[in-house]
Amino acid sequence: MIKELRSHEVRHKCSPNIFSFNSTEELAPLDEGIIGQQRAVKATSFGLNIKSPEYNIYISGIPGTGRKSYTILSVKKIAKDTPTPDDWFYVYNFKQPNLPIALNLPAGMGRVFREDVKGLVKELSIELPKAFDSKDFEERKSRIVKALQEGANRLWEELYARAKELGFTVKRTSTGFVNIPLVEGREMTQEEYNKLPEEARKELEEKSRQLDEETMKIIKKIQELEREARGKIEELQKQVCLFAIGRLFEEIYTKYRNYKKAAEYLEMMKNDVLGHFEEFLPHEEAKNPLTAFVKSNFMQRYEVNLIVDNADTDGAPVVVEHNPTYYNLVGKVEYEQRMGVLSTDFTKIKGGSILKANGGYLILNITDVLKNIGSWDTLKRVLKSGHLKIENMGEHLGLTPVSSLAPQPIPIKLKIILIGTPLIHHLLCMYDEDFRELFKIKVDFDTDMERNDENVERLSRFIGEYCKKNSLKPLDRSGVARVVEYASELSSHQKKLSTRFNNIVSILQEADTWATIEGKDVITAELVSKAIKEKVYRSNMYEQKFQEFFKEGQLLIQTDGKETGQINGLSVLQLGEYSFGKPSRITATVHPGQKGIINIERETKMSGKIHSKGVMILSSYIASKYAQDIPLSLSASLCFEQLYEEVEGDSASSTELYALISALSGTPLRQDIAVTGSVDQKGNIQPIGGVNEKIAGFFDFCKIRGLTGKQGVIIPQQNVINLMLREDITEAIESGKFHIYAIDNIDEGIEILTGERAGKPDENGNFPEGSVHYRVKERLEGFSKVLTEWSKKEKEGA
């Protein structure tokens, strides 16, 4: 049934009188921080409460619907009641220095442990030099040295006495010991030795050999004495060192004895200090910069590298990583240049977001993760293995075959929340076999919510809360009502409100700016409307260009009169965030033939698949409507005139059918009415998208030429609920200067466009004489006869 819509049916207005407040300053803030997302709220709460590591969460929705802000708010709320996880730190591995040890302590104790160890090293640097500089130590050490010297002297005296018995004296040289024969109590000269008989020389040589054996025995005994002395000195040093550090280590050990790994590390550190106590003692060469550097480098082994510090964390950590590169997620081992060489140690290990969020929640944007090399695979590996190994990307990929640190892996237990679009979720489900197993909870954020009293009231509170937080001027009741209408405009639905809050708050910001410019203290409906209008103005340059072409006569669109085989169709052009309606002249020509309906856009490869499907449906409609008892002998062409880009969508299929019926019946169509709507094979009109933009586009063209009071747009009946027309269009409809017709089928549209009856078939399938359908069938029968006669002539000629 044809229905001409009234002004109240083309825009669902919001009356300021429904609000009980005068200004948004009076409103209480939102409790949950989200509006109209009950499904998302329920799914998020369920996902966050599941403890299993496979139940990570994917937040699905388009940007601007509050996905991120609500996720952070809800996660922090749950995290506050969750136990705070341990601190983690790396320490030196005294047995295998290239394998740093990872230790953990309860939250806040990591920082304390680091300071305790730092203080311990400082105390050791004081107490050890004092202990080894004491009088008692020097006396005990002197006694050991004195005993060694005395024992060595006795042995040398024995050697000298034995040498004298054999007639020799023993002298030390730089190369060893030399035996020199004696004659009459003095050393024999070389000449005297050479004059000796052969037997005498052999006798001296034999005695010298015996003396060498005696000398070696004495030297071995002296070496044994020295070893004993060194052992005693080392034992003394150990006793002194142990006495000096025992109390210090006992104090810190007592404090951490209940933490097994920390206590084990302290025991290893104690043994290392005993083995390297001399590094704590002052040296004369310490003034040398190189020696000082080496000593400071040695002392680094006793540092504590705290990479996760939860001392200031209340509950479980909530980490939002805005730049999820491989290194920002995993951490890295840094290098520095020392003496012209790149080097590293365990103090250069840096933790990433995964470690910071360990025991809590990590929130990531999936688009950012997928853009960064290695990040997605690393996340999956950590979730599957339950451990994180900090290594640089080159080592991870096997591209850097150099020796480096291999820090001990750290156990990971956290919940990852990914924020992304429905498309990415679909693609990951299709092409990533691990995704479904690791992210089992999907949370859908809708772009719309019901326009009911509860949501309108919550939207009002959201507006008030946002204005207070961002120091914006408050809105009065009319301003809030206008924002509610704008939310319905964004949703393109009279009974819905948009949840794209980014768009809403941008209008609040701009309205506040206009209020400041005009010196207003409160944002009214007029200021909100101005902000919306100015926002459109900044984006509608191309729309205005089309209107200029139309005004100058370069774009051939008629807005009055009648034409046969010609009609005004409507399309929507999307340019970034801004979309607008553009009227298009659609023409149809017909002649006898068997090619069927030719879509010129398709022939020139300017037609999308959906549009081509719509044109093929027209052929089915024509055949089922008019060719039940005759063969369809038709060649027709359809064209979007002055269109130089691809045509996609089926919203013009009913419009093309009207043009085709007009061309076949010879019935002119009104040019002051534009048409939009999809059609099925039965002639039923189906809903389309962008109805508000399409109506506004034709209205603006008509306004340029002058509104006659007869112009309007035909739309599908199902799209009435989507109407949220501009205020100036609503006023034109109310004053009878513009019209909107809602229809259910093609016949209703024919009657509006032609002013004639379409015609309903009788039980024999015949249409009433003089009706539009009658004339179409009559024309097709004529085409069939022409082709039959032409075929006979061809056969006779052959």
**Is 403 tagged catalytic?**
no
DSSP string, 283-326: -GGGGSHHHHHHHHHHHGGG--EEEE--TT--SS-EEEESS--H
Cβ partners under 8 Å of residue 340, min gap 6: none
Q: What whole-number distance in Å separates Cα of residue 290 and Cα of residue 144? A: 34
Contact 713, 683 (CB under 8 A): no
Per the structure block, which two tokens stand in for 75?
A: 């996660």
The residue from 651, 654, 662, 678 that is catalytic is 651
| Residue 53 burial (C-beta neighbours within 10 Å; 0-12, 13-18, 19+) | middle
Q: Measuring CA to CA, which residue among 373, 331, 332, 322 is closest to residue 352?
A: 331
Strands 596-599 and 635-641: what pairing?
A: parallel
The residue from 270, 694, 737, 777 that is catalytic is 694
| Helix, coil or strand: residue 103 | strand
CA distances from 48 to 61, 67, 71, 82, 534 (A): 18, 15, 10, 11, 42
Buried b / exposed e along 545-557 (16+ C-beta atoms within 10 A): ebbeebeeeebeb
Q: What whole-number distance in Å separates Cα of residue 513 and Cα of residue 522? A: 11
Q: Distance from first CA to last CA of the chain, Å, rounded?
A: 55
CA distances from 571 to 288, 495, 585, 752 (A): 83, 24, 11, 21
Q: What whole-number distance in Å separates Cα of residue 128 and Cα of residue 283? A: 13
| Helix, coil or strand: residue 417 | strand
Residue located via tokens 């640089």: 392
**Is 651 tagged catalytic?**
yes
Cβ partners under 8 Å of residue 554, min gap 6: none
- Dihedral angle over CA of 167, 169, 170, 174, nearest 10: -130
For the annotated catalytic residues, the residue numbers are 651, 694
